[in-house]
Chains A and B, each alone.
Chain A
Amino acid sequence: MEKYAQVFVERWHDLYSALIEHIILSASAVLLGCLVAIPLGTFLAKTSIGWVRSLSFTIANIFQTIPSLALLAILIPLLGIGTTPAILALFLYSLMPILQNTYSGFQSIDPGIIEAAKAVGYSSSQRLFKIELPLAIRYIMSGIRLTTVYIISWATLATVIGAGGLGELIVGGLSVYDKPLIFASAVLAMVLALAVDFVLSLFEKKLTKRENSKQNFA
């Protein structure tokens, strides 16, 4: 039992650098996911072209279903090994939940509000940034939170293609059956996921609160 506590001290240097790598892997993937999926989701909610919408969702859905190991293997001939293909794979996985939630967020807005805004003379970009996005933010944030938590856990697989992260210590520990090391790395991955989720929830509260008070004032 003592060994399980000791490993945090003895291997702290390795655990720390693996944790940093893990954060870089997951954060880059989720950020890229947001940059693509939020604008795309917004567009899809507004466009009247049905086939673009269904095509986009189908593609995002397909990425979601590729087994992660297979996806990593497929990317090797294209991008080689290391961090880049791992981030791309995780990014592809992050698309669907953010896209779906952004889309649902816009769908949930009462059309009456939009009509009212139009009547008051809001331009379409004003409507988007001042009314629709604030109303959809709760959905979007929950998509981001969901994605982040599972990307952090999936990032542990990236080590098989040399991308490092906490998975490196888990698989390395598994290779030599070092149970305390496996335990310590897994705990760090879990704590990271919980901590990030907590921070994002605070962020979400702040965003929604501000919007609420703004609306009250208005």
Chain B
Amino acid sequence: MKKITLLAVLLSVLLLLAGCTGGRTIIVGTQTFTETKILGYMYKYLIEDQSDINVKVKTDLLSTPFIINAMKENEIQMGTVYTGEIYNGWFPVEPTKDPKKTLAQAKQGFNKYHGIMWMDPLGFENTYAFTVRKDVAEKYNLKKISDLQSLAQNMKLGVDTSWLERKNDGYKAFTKTYGLSFGQVYPMEINLVYTAVESKDVDIVLAYSSDPRIKEFNLVTLEDDRKFFPPYLASTIMLNEALKQYPEIERAVKPLQGKIDLDTIRTLNAKVDLEKKDPQAVAEEYLKQQGLLK
């Protein structure tokens, strides 16, 4: 008799535990750079405001491909990614530099091949941008990437950890398009590249165009005159499976679509990257200011 009671107690405890983990929870994954964190917390506030779903934000995942792979495994259910990601070998694509066609392929391809819903863009682009210190730009009269032709061999380049390995818009493809390669390339955590160029540890960096530190550190962006980099419109993505279970999440984050332009995101990024505010607080402040959250 005693054994049976014990068993019953154990079983109910187990059931209770199972119930806890299986609650209405979704996880938003973010990359290591600021805007994805701010946006992730915006999703959290909006969804929790309008439903009883619990949202966890998992920050600092290594890179966008990492986010997508985690989503395919259902480890996370939402994230922020960029349309140019389609050139990273996820499915067959038609090369195009047209932002609309790129977006259309992203929407179709990720839905068809990976079960991921790609929402309409948030309203800003965050592409790769070659930037140099102002004194370097002036000294060599640099305006566009082609101007680096005779200099690149003697330059030290700072990049994020994934660019060297990216297939279609990475270093190898870049070398083919522009016919130039750099003397030394230092891949590092993206948040370090700006200080690295400022402190002259490197001469040129491949920055993220929406980063406020480009302006703060007086960096000059070189024009991509051969149109090498594809469009990188920021969009929210979510796992189809999660969407089926929680249709509310799409409705909740919809007001953000087309709302956040480059100036807005740069201002928000600056609050975190330069003023050292907490991304979660910045997200909340913005939503309240915009009347999206009470």
Contact = CB atoms under 8 A, between A and B. Distances in A.
B54 interface: no
Contacts of B48: none
A181 interface: yes
A81 B192 CA distance: 8
A157 B241 CA distance: 36
Interface in A56-110: 76, 80-82
Interface in A181-200: 181
Contacts of A168: 161, 164, 187
Contacts of B164: 168, 172
Contact of A175 (B65, B158, B167): B65
B199 A80 contact: yes
Q: What bracket does the count of chain A residues touching chain B fall in?
A: 10 to 19
A218 B192 CA distance: 60
B189 A160 contact: yes
Nearest to B162: A175
A204 B192 CA distance: 42
A140 B15 CA distance: 56
A172 B188 contact: no
B181 to A, nearest CB: 13
A175 B161 contact: yes
A134 interface: no
Nearest to A176: B165
B58 interface: no
Interface in A101-152: none
A173 B164 CA distance: 9
A171 B62 CA distance: 8
A81 B186 contact: yes
Contacts of A76: 192, 195
Nearest to A172: B165
Interface string A146-179: 0000000000000111101000100111111110
B113 to A, nearest CB: 15
A82 B188 CA distance: 9
B63 A176 contact: yes
Contact of B69 (A160, A171, A173, A177): A177
Interface residues of B, number: 24
B62 A175 contact: yes
A81 B188 contact: yes
Query: Which interface residue of A81, A171, A173, A174 has the most chain B CB atoms within 10 A?
Result: A81
A122 B88 CA distance: 71
A81 B201 contact: yes
A152 B179 CA distance: 36
Contact of B158 (A159, A162, A176, A177): A162
Contact of A162 (B69, B165, B196): B196
A162 B187 contact: yes
Contacts of A176: 63, 65, 88, 162, 165-167
B165 A178 contact: yes
Contacts of A178: 165
B88 to A, nearest CB: 7
B196 A173 contact: no
Contacts of B160: 175
B161 to A, nearest CB: 5
Contacts of B187: 159, 162, 164, 168, 171-172
Contacts of A80: 196, 199, 201
A183 B40 CA distance: 32
Contact of B165 (A159, A161, A181): A181
B91 interface: no
A171 to B, nearest CB: 5
A162 B195 CA distance: 12
A164 B188 CA distance: 8
Contacts of A82: 186, 201
A81 to B, nearest CB: 5
B66 interface: yes
Contacts of A173: 165
A161 B199 CA distance: 14
A50 to B, nearest CB: 43
Nearest to A164: B186
Nearest to B156: A82
Nearest to B70: A177
A179 to B, nearest CB: 10
6 contacts: A161-B188, A161-B189, A171-B161, A175-B160, A176-B167, A177-B69
Interface of A: 76, 80-82, 159-162, 164, 168, 171-178, 181
Given A160-B189, A181-B165, 11 more contacts: A76-B195, A159-B161, A161-B189, A162-B158, A162-B196, A168-B187, A171-B62, A172-B165, A174-B63, A176-B63, A176-B162
